[in-house]
Amino acid sequence: MKIALAQINPIVGDLDGNAAKIIDFIRRAEGQGAELVIFPELCVTGYPPKDLLLKPHLIRQNVAAVERIAAACGDIVAVVGYAQPNTTGEGRDLFNAAAVCSQGRILHSHGKRLLPTYDVFDETRYFESNLASDVATVEIAGRPVQLGFSICEDLWNNEQFEGLRLYHDDPIADLARSGAELLINISASPFWMGKPRERIRIFSSQVAEHAVPLVYVNQVGGNDDLLFDGGSAFFAADGRLAAQAKFFAEDLLMVDLDDLDAARREPCLDPLVSVRAALVLGTRDYVRKCGFDEVVLGLSGGIDSALSAALAVEALGADKVHGVAMPSRYSSAHSLSDAEALAGNLGIDYRVIPIEDSYQALEAALAPHFGDRPADIAEENLQARVRGNLLMALSNKFGWLLLTTGNKSELSVGYCTLYGDMCGGLAVISDVPKLMVYDLARHINASAGREIIPEGTLTKPPSAELRADQRDEDSLPPYEVLDGILAGYIEQEMSVEAIAETGFDRATVAEVARLVDRNEYKRKQAALGLKVTSRAFGTGRRMPIAARYPS
């Protein structure tokens, strides 16, 4: 049997465009002799469709799209993810289903059983669980095959939770017991650093346990904050990874069950390389799926904006990226020279807009109200907000999407200015901790074999330059300490006490935790950020604002 793994990058809600892409991939699969072609979870709507699923007309249009796709299928069998109306009269309106299409018809639909509702997932908000895990007999290339369908989480079961038995059921065991010859899992599995290898480990062990081969087809592409890395794969019945599609790109991977050794097996990426690829794809997809072509960002001479600019150039091309330096009275000479060197290295448009006159005009307007109060955070933020205002004016005038460049460490503790440097539609590296920002920057220079990010940017002490001689370490612990504490507090939900016990100063831990908690209001209004860790701010971390936090 020849199987095509159609790893596509759909646009959320674009039912016509996604259906056209699916039909195009079916044609290409047929052209390569495929008898079975498999698409990702909810590929007709794109994943995650969120509350678009509450629109009854979207549901009707998604069913009509599957019917069009089925009509385009002759002998080939196509498996397509869509939102299937629940006609039982009980429970939620929809199933998250796989439609099996052939001979012009939808032969069969199989709904998802385990509905993730944690982290970034809200599936029980929309879907009813399909309590049966039935095997379907499907005629492929003239012979009946017992197919065992599962959707994403069904395959993970409780393996991912380290001892927690969240789910009562085991869909894969049920399918194996029911005589499945081939397991088919359609997924939209969001990336975080380390997940691709985790996936292979878990899937391989599931397959080996049940001794049934598995085709796994994952979505690829960025949809808002979530990045899908692809890496669709075929596992032989002994659990061996026999074929693997590309990471971070669309792919049509052919697997001939009678000649597994000939199958293509794209390599896994190193974790840091995968984060870079994820950020590049996420930036490209967000910009383009929003209908933009060009982007603008502020260049401070610092490491965060330098990395963001380099990633934007990889994503969009140097001619689509505009960098703006906005020096103030507190900017050091190297800030401008480093920003200029970066722009030169990247080959991007570079402009300088001094903020001094605008800042002074605002200061003068406020002077009657501020009186003789000493300068404080108000004046610092005023500068950052003049910069935000200038960048947004360029964005509005020229139709460039503004990228914001803060990292996860500073967003965690609120070391950033709301409506200032937080202005922007996309936060490219807001889920990247500061130490990893340096790692990525060095990796970019190393892989280019030349200086992209200027050496000065890499070596000087980080500073917001909003007052004379300011350095990050005046306000924050060294990043080695800060990032360690944040990993415990945010990703692992550890208490102050528990983090201190791992070897950090208790008072420092308590202060970092206090800063994280009290800056929830800033993150409420932060730009959407690309998720690359196991716990990102945004949809995966839902915190109250007007609240007290336990230590």
Binders in 467-496 for a second copy, by CB under 8 A: 493, 495
Does the annotation mark 152 as catalytic?
yes
State in angstroms the smallest separation of the CB of 550 from a second copy: 5
Residues 153-192 that bind a second copy (CB under 8 A): 164-168
Annotated catalytic residue: which of 41, 294, 314, 410? 41
Given candidates 28, 68, 265, 351, which one binds a second copy under the rule CB under 8 A? 351
Q: At what angle do helices 271-289 and 303-316 cross, to 10 degrees?
A: 70
β pairing state of 233-235 and 226-229: unpaired
Q: What's the rounded Cα separation, in Å, for the pair 502 and 297?
A: 39
Q: What's the rounded Cα separation, in Å, for the pair 305 and 187?
A: 34
- Residue 551 burial (C-beta neighbours within 10 Å; 0-12, 13-18, 19+): exposed
Annotated catalytic residue: which of 112, 195, 289, 408? 112
Q: Does 131 bind a second copy (CB under 8 A)?
A: no
Within 10 Å of residue 495's Cβ, how many Cβ atoms? Answer: 14
Nearer to a second copy among residue 237 and residue 353 (C-beta):
353
Residue span binding a second copy (CB under 8 A) among the ranges 204-212, 346-354, 454-462, 475-483:
346-354
Q: What's the rounded Cα separation, in Å, for the pair 380 and 395?
A: 23
State in angstroms the smallest separation of the CB of 1 from a second copy: 35
State in angstroms the smallest separation of the CB of 381 from a second copy: 5
Q: Tell me, by CB under 8 A, how many residues bind a second copy.
A: 97
State in angstroms the smallest separation of the CB of 275 from a second copy: 20
Does the annotation mark 67 as catalytic?
no
- Contacts of 168-172 with CB under 8 Å at 24 or more apart are 169/113, 169/114, 169/131, 169/133, 171/113, 171/114, 171/133, 172/133, 172/148, 172/206, 172/210
State in angstroms the smallest separation of the CB of 382 from a second copy: 5
DSSP, collapsed to helix, strand or coil, labels residue 542 as coil
Q: Does 519 bind a second copy (CB under 8 A)?
A: no
Q: Does 448 bind a second copy (CB under 8 A)?
A: no
Residue span binding a second copy (CB under 8 A) among the ranges 12-20, 196-204, 446-454, 465-473:
12-20
Cβ-Cβ contacts under 8 Å for 16 (sequence gap 6 or more): 65
State in angstroms the smallest separation of the CB of 524 from a second copy: 6
Which is nearest to 252 in space by CA: 200, 289, 217?
217
**417 and 381 in contact (C-beta within 8 Å)?**
yes
Q: Does 92 bind a second copy (CB under 8 A)?
A: yes
For residue 328, what is the DSSP state? -
Q: Does 521 bind a second copy (CB under 8 A)?
A: yes
Q: What's the rounded Cα separation, in Å, for the pair 345 and 455?
A: 12
Given candidates 31, 56, 104, 478, which one binds a second copy under the rule CB under 8 A? 56
Nearer to a second copy among residue 118 and residue 264 (C-beta):
118
Residue span binding a second copy (CB under 8 A) among the ranges 116-124, 146-154, 231-239, 437-445:
116-124
Does the annotation mark 112 as catalytic?
yes
Token pair of 445 as six digits: 């220079």
Q: Does 498 bind a second copy (CB under 8 A)?
A: yes
Residues 384-413 that bind a second copy (CB under 8 A): 385-386, 388-390, 392-394, 396-397
Q: Does 132 bind a second copy (CB under 8 A)?
A: no
* Structure-token match 């995966």, residue found: 540
State in angstroms the smallest separation of the CB of 212 from a second copy: 26
β pairing state of 220-223 and 241-244: unpaired
Residues 524-543 that bind a second copy (CB under 8 A): 524-528, 539, 541-543
Host H or E run for residue 298: strand 295-298
Residue span binding a second copy (CB under 8 A) among the ranges 172-180, 184-192, 349-357, 479-487:
349-357
Q: What's the rounded Cα separation, in Å, for the pair 145 and 138?
A: 5
Given candidates 141, 262, 377, 448, which one binds a second copy under the rule CB under 8 A? 377
Q: What's the rounded Cα separation, in Å, for the pair 50 and 13?
A: 10
Question: Positive or negative, the Cα torsion across 51, 52, 53, 56?
Answer: positive
Given candidates 27, 31, 32, 54, which one binds a second copy under the rule CB under 8 A? 54
State in angstroms the smallest separation of the CB of 511 from a second copy: 17
Q: Does 453 bind a second copy (CB under 8 A)?
A: no
State in angstroms the smallest separation of the CB of 392 from a second copy: 6
Token pair of 200 as six digits: 């292979």
Annotated catalytic residue: which of 43, 73, 152, 423? 152
Q: Does 347 bind a second copy (CB under 8 A)?
A: no
Q: Does 222 bind a second copy (CB under 8 A)?
A: yes
Cβ-Cβ contacts under 8 Å for 516 (sequence gap 6 or more): 412, 413, 414, 486, 489, 490
Q: What's the rounded Cα separation, in Å, for the pair 543 and 549?
A: 10
Token pair of 144 as six digits: 């009946």
Q: Which residues are catalytic?
A: 41, 112, 152
